[in-house]
């Protein structure tokens, strides 16, 4: 299995980098993604020599769908397979902002970008089957107010709600992917890493210093937050689990928890996502709308 290829997005810090530090101990090609070239090379330098993995980098700003598409093209040129895709990169803002393409930024980075990447790399995942996809979601999805007619938060917006909506979207798309890919030898799962000490909270004005001080008492390390991801990416028994949601706060984070999800809402979201991404998916847009 030394020819395995693993891609971790958002791997220059936080949970992504902690997962990469664990995965570097595997005999595989580990491709770490980031948006800043200097930080990406620094992360690679920190990982090289820490294990047998061949550490490589790929750069893209998930706020730009053009860059995500170019990243997928470059990845397909460099590799003919993808065994593990860890959709980890994420964003939490304290105000409504738009990305380069005019879409609400949290929705772009947390949902549109990973779906564009996942759909674009499905042929390589099929080439590598049995393969695995995992999404870094969150129990924040319980606060979601996902409105298919207002995905951009133009009628109503708060930073936390936008984040919660995208975390619900991650879980919904993961569940649909699991259904669609069941016959292709690809498993797909989502998980909540718990409250982790990352930059996600620190620079956000929605959290007062007093609130952050209270939160600090409950946060875990990025290494702890990465445990479920590494389990889903590498454990032999995890290759038989698909369409599940995991909570790190539940024991060791290795047992799926029952969570009700609205399949009709998920299908509507998938169709709307494929419609939005059609300019970047091209001929793949139709198959994306029909699958997950």
Q: What is the mean pLDDT of residues 204-225?
A: 68
Domains, in order of start, for the chain: 5-290 (3.40.50.720)
Please give the backbone phi and psi of residue 71, each rounded to the nearest 5 degrees, phi first: -60, -45
pLDDT of 286 over the 80 cut: no
> For residue range 221-273, what is the model confidence (pLDDT) as tens digits?
889 899 999 999 999 999 999 999 998 755 567 888 988 999 999 999 999 99
> For residue range 1-31, what is the model confidence (pLDDT) as tens digits?
458 999 999 999 999 999 999 999 999 999 9
- Which single residue is written with the structure tokens 């008492």? 217
The pLDDT of residue 291: 58
Q: Which of 44-48, 184-188, 218-222, 230-234 has the lowest mean pLDDT?
A: 218-222
Instruction: In whole angstroms, give the CA distance from residue 112 to residue 273.
Output: 7
Please give the model's pTM, rounded to 2 decimal places. Answer: 0.92
One-letter-per-residue 3-state SS of 70-109: HHHHHHHHHCCCCCEEEECCCCCCCCCCECCCCCEHHHHH
**Structural contact between residues 39 and 66, judged by C-beta atoms closer than 8 angstroms:** no
Instruction: Give the tokens for residue 263.
Output: 């399949």
Q: What is the mean pLDDT of residues 149-169?
A: 94
Could you give the percent of the chain with pLDDT greater than 90?
76
Instruction: Give the tokens for residue 194.
Output: 């718990």
- Work out whether strand 256-257 and strand 245-247 pair parallel, antiparallel, or are unpaired: antiparallel
Mark out the alpha helices in the chain (DSSP H runs): 14-23, 37-47, 65-78, 105-107, 113-128, 159-180, 199-202, 209-216, 222-225, 227-234, 263-281, 284-290
- Taking residue 127's Cβ as centre, other Cβ atoms within 10 Å add up to 15
> For residue range 84-103, what is the model confidence (pLDDT) as tens digits?
999 999 999 888 999 999 99
Q: Which residues are catalytic?
A: 163
């Amino acid at each position: 299995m030394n020819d395995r290829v693993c891609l971790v997005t958002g791997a220059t810090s936080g949970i992504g980098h902690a997962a990469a530090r664990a995965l570097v101990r595997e005999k595989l090609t580990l491709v770490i993604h980031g948006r800043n070239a200097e930080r990406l090379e620094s992360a690679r330098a920190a990982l090289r020599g820490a294990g047998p993995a061949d550490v490589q980098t790929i750069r893209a700003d998930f706020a730009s769908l053009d860059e995500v598409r170019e990243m997928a093209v470059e990845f397909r040129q460099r590799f003919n397979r993808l065994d593990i895709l860890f959709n980890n990169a994420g964003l939490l803002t304290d105000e409504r902002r738009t990305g380069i393409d005019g879409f609400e930024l949290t929705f772009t980075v947390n949902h549109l970008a990973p779906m564009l990447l996942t759909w674009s790399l499905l042929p390589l995942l099929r080439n590598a089957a049995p393969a695995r996809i995992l999404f870094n979601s969150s129990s924040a999805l319980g606060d979601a107010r996902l409105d298919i007619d207002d995905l951009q938060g133009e009628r109503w917006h708060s930073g936390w709600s936008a984040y919660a909506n995208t975390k619900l979207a991650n879980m919904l798309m993961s569940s649909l992917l699991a259904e669609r890919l069941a016959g292709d030898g690809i498993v797909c799962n989502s998980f909540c890493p718990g409250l982790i000490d990352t930059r996600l909270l620190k620079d956000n004005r929605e959290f007062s210093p007093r609130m952050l001080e209270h939160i600090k008492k409950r946060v875990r390390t990025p290494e702890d937050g990465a445990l479920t991801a590494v389990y889903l990416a590498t454990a032999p028994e995890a290759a038989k689990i698909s369409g599940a949601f995991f909570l790190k706060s539940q024991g060791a984070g290795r047992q799926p928890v029952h969570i009700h999800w609205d399949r009709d809402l998920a299908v509507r979201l998938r169709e709307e996502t494929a419609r939005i991404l059609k300019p970047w998916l091209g001929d793949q847009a139709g198959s994306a709308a029909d699958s997950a």
